[in-house]
Structure 1
Amino acid sequence: MNRLLTVAALAAGTLAFAAPANAAITFCEGAANTCGGQGDTVHLDGNDDGSDNIVNGTIVNGTVGVIITDFDPQNITSNPNGQGQGQAWVNAAGSTKQNPLTFDSLDFALTGGYRFTHIEFDLNPPNGGGPQDPWSVTIFGYDASNTQFSQIFNGNKQNNFFNANADGGDVFTHVSFNAPPLVGVGHIRIGGANLPTTTTVPEPATWALMIMGFGGAGAMLRRRRTIAA
């Protein structure tokens, strides 16, 4: 009996300190070499016709699909031949250098149930190569529980790289941004693509209840043995 009380006390102590696992998600302004993380270059579909608000692509040698959605909604298209260091870009459909069309939000996700742990992209506002009014962007991340995390970056003046990283076993299902009008998004890289597993680590509170259950089961077995004797 005393042993059962001891187990119960330990479990109660565990419950007292039990807290849900928190997401370890960080957002960073800058390229991956300054923010950490490593991603595969997203290869965009060269056949996109700009007739809707979705652009498709792939990573991991074409084995994992990428879906990029504009939720303005503004029709978007890809420039797979690249601009600026040969990287593919997403632009507003019908945009030209003489008549640049803009958009202000995109969402990045993987197809087939895949999640990811890293994303990097470069946002280009109008006249991004020269002096302009400061602009800001809000980056959103959604984890496997659909919990949203966000961070606002103010005072941007030219083209800017942004990174999002999920650590500590957490993952992204989506990463989005909302910003003033942009003429292009490029240098898109996504890393850590993975599928959900059936094995999960119990929350601390679950461990505490398991301890109580194991203690109770042991006490019942000892009691039965005593009666049988």
Structure 2
Amino acid sequence: MSVLLLQLAGPLQSWGSASRFARRSTESAPTKSGIIGLLAAALGRERSEDLSDLAAMRFGVRIDQQGTVLRDFHTAHHFETGEPGPVSERMYLADAVFVAGVEGSKELIEMLQQALQAPAFLPYLGRRSCPPSRQVYLGVHVRLGLLEALRREPWQAARWYQRRRCSEHQIKLEIRMEATDDESDDVLRDQPISFNPLHRQYQLRGVRRPARAIVENPQAVRPHDPIAALGNKPCS
């Protein structure tokens, strides 16, 4: 088994799992359905194509920069009739950064690695209006499991955010892993079955929260190094 890591950073992100009617909410971290959709798009798959091989991969995410919730209002038109729909309330995450990972066969991970570096369809962070601000592909691990890969990846938060926490040499980051048994801390309806716009289907998926990852803060001020401290702004 191999692990593919993605970095998800952008001005806005939105990861819905329970949106209904005119209110489109977002989870506080990327959903499995959102990431599988991103990977399927990179491969060039149409929404009606089979995605069982991608959905079978194990999923996990690390919250590197939590971001803030932003509310907006949208109008839309039906994709077949062109008739206007109701005004909808939509929620986004602003200035958030995540490290997401999927674990699967070596052949599938290699195929996804190549697709992400030359995607057939442009990737977006949950909604088409949310383009990434960095390269999505982060790396592949062949000797680490998914949880260990998420724990070992360096902190991907924005530099200004790291400086804001410059008094902390080590940062604890929350990890959310797909549960492999009945012991889960939460349940989300984000296990994709079909992305067909005429009949989207999702199943429930268990989520657990293991011990937090501990990563180094590259912008931490070292009191014993006055020269390095001169280049850092005061902590706020």
Bigger Rg, which one: 1
Asked whether the two chains share a fold, i.e. TM above 0.5, the reply is no
Taking structure 2 as the reference length, what is the TM-score of the superposition?
Answer: 0.24
